[in-house]
A = this chain, B = another copy of it.
């Protein structure tokens, strides 16, 4: 079958092409290599975390026609680690190679308003939301659904960028101006503020035959819009975990998604599970799967994209905790001392090999397993605290 490794004659090795060279691409490459595949990386700039891991590095980025063509030629099937790629480029790639997730899936996801509309029309529970054509629309929304509420750019927002909390009508005009009068004015939407108890996430893999692997429901701990830690499984009642997994799976089916998807959800104060966001790629909330599950999100991402049977997403330990290693200063990407961290024998350290550090930048992560999530958390925290920048 076109696009599948292992089902071809001759000695031709199968190359998985990855759009992007960051840590997600790095970990995807790790899994591809384990399965005996080769890897091609295209990124803007040389020596990215994944770029150093292959002979097939195209450092002009996908905006360089030359490098894009060379990358396509070098690859058999292509996937991405970055959902902000212009779907037109993905369409161009799709003229020559299988690429997952598809341009169609990306178009449904990249605009958060269309994203939520698509899901709402499939019966997936979300918060109230509308698209905004004018500040008056926003005022009306706030009056109807209450203040505060959120105004979001419909495209290109991540980790909190492109979001603004609107506390009262007066805020609306300044927020409106900020987003619409900038160099690149963006379409806006409003969302009713969700009062949540916990933030949850579920990873879902789906291949072209529609086979799925739904990972455990986990809890994510965010600070300033950046993920700090992940607890697996989430410490919520079983029926809520199941509900979250159900919703996550429905989301992926709603967009006919092929590949790996990270679905973020809210557990509201009222005890409901609401859809929040979806990313069509491996996700920070799934890094724990490398040590904690039979098949990591990265391996299943490779399998899904290459139309191979998926591996079990079951956990192999009762609990796991992942803690992000975030830069605390600018400058060298190498922490002053990782040695203390490595002395904690039971936590697994991952460093992404980025060129420079920056406050808040994701530089690596630590995962610990445990009989209970408290035990795993203790282990992971001890390890993370000992890292000296």
Contacts and interface: CB of A to CB of B under 8 A. Distances in A.
Interface of A: 4-11, 13-14, 26, 30, 33-39, 51-55, 57, 294-295, 303, 308-312, 314, 316-317, 331-339, 342-343, 345-346, 348-353, 355-356, 364, 369
Given A52-B55, A339-B308, A38 B334 contact: no
Nearest to A50: B33
B334 A5 contact: yes
A102 B270 CA distance: 64
Contact of A356 (B4, B6, B11): B11
B6 A337 contact: yes
Contacts of A33: 26, 30, 53, 353
14 contacts: A4-B339, A6-B336, A11-B332, A13-B333, A33-B353, A34-B349, A38-B52, A38-B353, A52-B55, A53-B54, A294-B369, A309-B345, A316-B317, A316-B369
A308 B349 CA distance: 12
Nearest to A303: B342
B11 A333 contact: yes
A interface, over-half SS: loop
A343 B309 contact: yes
A312 B13 contact: no
A39 to B, nearest CB: 8
Contact of A53 (B9, B10, B53, B355): B53
A54 B294 CA distance: 27
B34 A350 contact: yes
A324 to B, nearest CB: 14
Given A10-B332, A33-B53, A39-B53, 7 more contacts: A7-B336, A34-B351, A36-B352, A311-B346, A312-B345, A312-B346, A316-B316
Nearest to A290: B34
Contact of A294 (B303, B332, B346): B346
A332 B346 CA distance: 40
A347 to B, nearest CB: 9
B334 A8 contact: yes
A365 to B, nearest CB: 11
A311 B312 CA distance: 27
A248 B303 CA distance: 39
A318 to B, nearest CB: 11
Contacts of A337: 6-7
Nearest to A331: B11
A356 to B, nearest CB: 7
- Those 4 A-B pairs whose CB atoms lie nearest each other, nearest first: A36-B351, A312-B345, A6-B338, A36-B353
Given A33-B30, A353-B13, A334 B6 contact: yes
A336 B10 CA distance: 10
Interface centre among A8, A52, A294 (most CB of B within 10 A): A52
